[in-house]
Structures are given as C-alpha cells and as structure tokens.
C-alpha cells in the first residue's frame, strides 16, 4: 500500500501543474495520470479504481453537482483536478451510483431535470468507458502532466520494471491501458 505522503505529493504536483497551465475541465486526463502513477508505484498492493459519477460540493451557498471523474484508492476518493479541489473549502461527496445519488440529492433536483441528469451521467460513464478501453486519453496533455509530476521524489517511488514495460521513460507515447473502470 502506498503512503499518504506519496499520494499527497503526487496530488500536489498534479494540481500545481494544472494551476500553472490553466488546465480546467480535464478530470479524465487528470484521473488517468493519477491512476497510472499509483499503478506504477513500488510496493503497491491495492488496485486503484477509475470512477465516473457526480461530485457534489458547496460554493458559497450554492450547491454544485458536477459530472466528474476521479480515482478511488484504498476506499478513499482522490480528486486530482485543481479546478474542483479548489472551487470550495467544503467537503465533497463523490457518488458513482445513480440510485445512491438520487436517494441522497434527488429532492434538490427539479423533476423535469431528473431525466436529463440521468442521461448526462449515463452518457458520460459510457463515453468514459469507451475512451479508456480504446486508450484514447489526450496523449499531449497526458505527456505534459506526467513529465511535470514525475519529479525526482516521485520517480524514486516508481517500480522501474513496470515503468519500462509501459515505454513511458523514452516516449510517454500513450497512457497505460485502463481496464478497471467503475460503472
């Protein structure tokens, strides 16, 4: 299992990159980079899970419900996206199950909007699954963020056998194949 210190270091570097480069609405690429860095780490015995669903949080007095992608690791939801993690100081609720989402927040959504909301969430999940199974995350953004995040401290925690097997050191040509998606 990875230490919290390693995960916080990775998340901090990722969010710093996104802030500096004004990366917004990039939750899929951000989550794929985090997913891959967890998989590449030494002594990692727990498989991360790429999740898609709804992230709910407060901005001032407004309740925000975003269709979003994040990583679940060791029972914890890890959100590598700077724009979401810094949008609010309130706790965030990450829900990847529509029944659970409507049970918790259904009263706050207009009846006429519920069908649209269901369709949007299902479409996002279906699109995300197709995107990941075809390994088509934006390679350009993936490479740039991966190179920035992989500073010396993080590199020494990466399992070199896994790292070289992915051809990431020379080419960073494409994200690692993702098959573990929560739907």
User: In the prediction, which pLDDT does 152 show?
Assistant: 58
Mean pLDDT (the chain) is 78
Dihedral class, residue 75 (left if φ above 0, else alpha if ψ from -120 to 50, else beta): left
Residue 146 and residue 173 in contact, taking contact as beta carbons nearer than 8 Å: no
- Chain length of the chain: 183
DSSP single-letter state for residue 90: S
Q: What residues does each domain of the chain span?
A: 4-182
Higher pLDDT, 174 or 12: 12
Contact between 34 and 71 (Cβ < 8 Å): yes
pLDDT of 84-109, one tens digit each?
Answer: 888 777 788 999 888 898 899 888 88
């Amino acid at each position: 299992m990875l230490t919290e210190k390693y995960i916080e270091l990775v998340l901090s570097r990722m969010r710093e990159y996104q802030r500096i480069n004004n990366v917004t609405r990039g939750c899929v690429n951000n989550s794929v980079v985090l997913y891959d860095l967890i998989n590449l780490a030494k002594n990692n015995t727990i498989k991360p899970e790429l999740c898609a669903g709804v992230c709910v949080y407060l901005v001032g007095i407004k309740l925000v419900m975003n269709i979003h992608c994040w990583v679940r690791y060791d029972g914890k939801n890890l959100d590598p996206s700077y724009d979401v993690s810094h949008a609010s100081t309130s706790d965030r609720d990450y829900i990847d199950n529509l029944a659970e989402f409507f049970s918790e927040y259904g009263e706050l959504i207009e009846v006429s909007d519920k069908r649209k909301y269901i369709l949007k969430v299902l479409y996002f999940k279906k699109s995300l699954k197709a995107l990941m199974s075809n390994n088509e995350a934006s390679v350009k953004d993936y490479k740039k963020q991966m190179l920035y995040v992989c500073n010396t401290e993080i590199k020494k925690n990466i399992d070199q056998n896994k790292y070289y097997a992915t051809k990431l050191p020379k080419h960073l040509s494409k994200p690692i194949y993702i098959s573990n998606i929560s739907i």
